[in-house]
Chain A
């Protein structure tokens, strides 16, 4: 698991962290500490996802919250 290609294949899973390839998490971590090129990609993809995540953030309208509370009391 110490080849760049293998690491990059699982990079999103590593970032995601719920889907570590079986016991590969620590190997990837080690590789990223030692490989500048992979680490730089890792940092970039992570940052990009962060921006995408934040871009989608929004508030549920209060009227909808109330509507759902009301629905729940009905049944």
Chain B
């Protein structure tokens, strides 16, 4: 015998497993830990199903439980040292990557935006995301990547709305500046025009 909530869980929460696992993997950086986290979160959701308000967004509810489980249980065991200089990031402008790329000289055959955003691999993007300190990473993942609302992210992370907004703004800056650094180091800008002292082909 199943009730309406259990039905909703089966039909709407279980099909989310791929994307929820993806988020858990980005939070934990570790496939085994991600599996444990998702199993824990789903078990908790199932046991506490009576706390779910029918008619509200079950996806946001699942992410709330996942994030809470991660923050309360998981993070303590695997605490990562996070010393970032926030001031340094606050001095970075908005739209940092766009501004850097569009200020590059265009060559005949290379559009800087295309050669960077188009050429970077999924691995590059994942790595940049993984480098973010966890509270910024969680905000960016839940809002920008998973499309939760400010309110839903605030509830998931148990912080005020203003904190969500400032973590998002900083998180995006950190992400964009690390993508920019990577693009330079990987030489993605070097094709077609020069960066700093770099490549001039002898012919």
Contacts and interface: CB of A to CB of B under 8 A. Distances in A.
Interface size range of chain A in the complex: 20 to 34
A71 B46 contact: yes
Contacts of A49: 144-145
Interface string A39-67: 01100110111011111111111011101
A67 B39 contact: yes
B143 interface: yes
A41 B14 CA distance: 37
* Interface class of chain B by DSSP: helix
Contact of B21 (A16, A19, A40, A60): A60
A58 B144 contact: no
B18 A19 contact: no
B5 to A, nearest CB: 12
B149 interface: yes
A28 to B, nearest CB: 16
A60 B38 contact: yes
B26 A48 contact: no
Interface of A: 8, 12, 16, 18-19, 40-41, 44-45, 47-49, 51-61, 63-65, 67-69, 71-72, 75
Interface of B: 9-10, 14, 17-23, 25-26, 31, 35, 38-39, 42-43, 46-47, 94-95, 97-98, 101-102, 113, 117, 120, 122-126, 129, 141, 143-145, 147-150, 168, 172, 175-176
